[in-house]
Amino acid sequence: MRFHFKTSYDQDIRLFPDGWNLAVYSALLLFMLALPLMLDSFFLGEVTNVLIWAIAGLGLMLLTGQTGQISLGHSAFMALGCYTCVLLMEAGMPFILAFLLAGIITGVVGGLIAVPALRLHGVYLAIATLALAIIADDIIVMLSPWTGGVNGKFAPDIVIFGLEVNRWVNPEYWYYLALAVALLVTLIYRNLLRSPLGRAFAAVRDSEVSAQAMGVDVARTKTVAFGLSCAITGLGGALMGLFAGAFNNETFNFLLAIQLLMMIVVGGLGFIHGAFLGAIVVAFLPQGLSIFTDTLGRGYQIPGLEIGVFGMILVLFLIFEPMGLYGRWLKIRIWLELFPFARRDMFRRQKSYLKTERVR
């Protein structure tokens, strides 16, 4: 068991509380950097996919895990991020600029949509945002002169400072691009959590009344949360579309938003790690299942297997581990640290309600 002896406030403020923690994450970063040496291009592509899902998931996590607002409309913002980025690139803007601008535009649009939407609470907000996701599908078709409608669009080549990033030619470049964005988003996320805005998010999540009594402008904080969340998800969407190579209105339909929400619940709501763990499940599940069905025989197919298994996983998590994979890991870690003194009822769940439902 490790003890923290604190001699300075900075120990609580800095990114890594102690040397051990820093060492663990440095090792992880080194491992991630060295991954292209260990994997073939297929699995490297899969890991890139995980990172892209994680980026989109971090966006939703900021809103749902941190601020307590449910959104089933984030597929719309993934689409917005993707189309904006591609249209800007086609207009001749360099990739990095187009990519970041797409995030900012998505964030601003998200913030504007949030102003009316966030007057709603809990399940009503979920339904309103779901409607948004469904409408977005139609809007993409209606705007076909720009979006290509149902025929879709092909992703333009990504060129960063003269280097061409192509999934088929140099998958490791794509991987590093996704890794860099994931790192940037995680760093911003983490910085927000250790500053007043991140704490205001938690305050709004846990008790709106008392957040107000502490001087937190609840409506504005929610709007900022929604905007930031949409910006990050928009970046994820842009990467997803570019990585897929071709996309149309179906790529970003509302099922994607539901999958994104399920992903962060399975990973662990409110944890950065949760977005990554959930992304691993979402991205590798189809592969795992196809490997499994292959063992049953060539060409053997079970329709709906993937959705069924995913739904089953979600239900099991909601019943047995609502804190998700990362919550489970935390419990295992505490058990190991305290061994043999951990007690069974240490992790007994307390009944809790959606605070936004209780406090108006």
Determine, following the binding rule CB under 8 A, whether residue 293 of this chain makes contact with other proteins: no
Which of 41, 144, 170, 212 lies at the binding interface for other proteins (CB under 8 A)? 212
Residue in 205, 233, 248, 266 binding other proteins, rule: CB under 8 A:
205
Which of residues 99 and 252 has its CB atom nearest to other proteins in the complex?
A: 99
Q: Which is nearer to other proteins, 101 or 139 (by Cβ)?
A: 101
Q: Which is nearer to other proteins, 203 or 281 (CB)?
A: 203
Write each residue from 249 to 288 as x if it is in contact with other proteins (CB under 8 A), else as -, in one continuous string. Answer: ---------------------x------------------
Closest contact distance (angstroms) between CB of 209 and other proteins is: 6
Among 1, 2, 3, 10, binds other proteins (CB under 8 A): 10
Question: What residues does 160 pair with on adjacent strands?
Answer: 163
Q: Does 196 participate in binding other proteins (rule CB under 8 A)?
A: yes
**Under rule CB under 8 A, residue 195 binds other proteins:** yes
Q: How far is the CB of 81 from other proteins (least distance, A)?
A: 18
249 within 8 A of 147, measured Cβ to Cβ: yes
* 350 scored as a contact of other proteins (CB under 8 A): yes
Handedness of CA 109, 112, 116, 121 (dihedral sign): positive
Q: Does 216 bind other proteins (CB under 8 A)?
A: yes
Residue 133, C-beta contacts closer than 8 angstroms, at least 6 positions apart: 72, 73, 74, 75, 76, 253, 254, 257
Locus of tokens 């995980």: 50
Among 13, 34, 296, 336, binds other proteins (CB under 8 A): 13
**Both tokens of residue 167?**
């999934």
The answer to the question of residue 94 lying near other proteins (CB under 8 A) is no
Residue 218 near other proteins by CB under 8 A: yes
Q: Does 112 bind other proteins (CB under 8 A)?
A: no
Nearer to other proteins, 138 or 217 (CB): 217
Q: Of the two residues 5 and 9, which places its CB atom closer to other proteins in the complex?
A: 9
- Is residue 210 near other proteins by the rule CB under 8 A? yes
Residues that bind other proteins (CB under 8 A): 9-10, 12-13, 187-188, 191-192, 194-200, 202-203, 205-207, 209-218, 224, 270, 350, 352, 355, 359
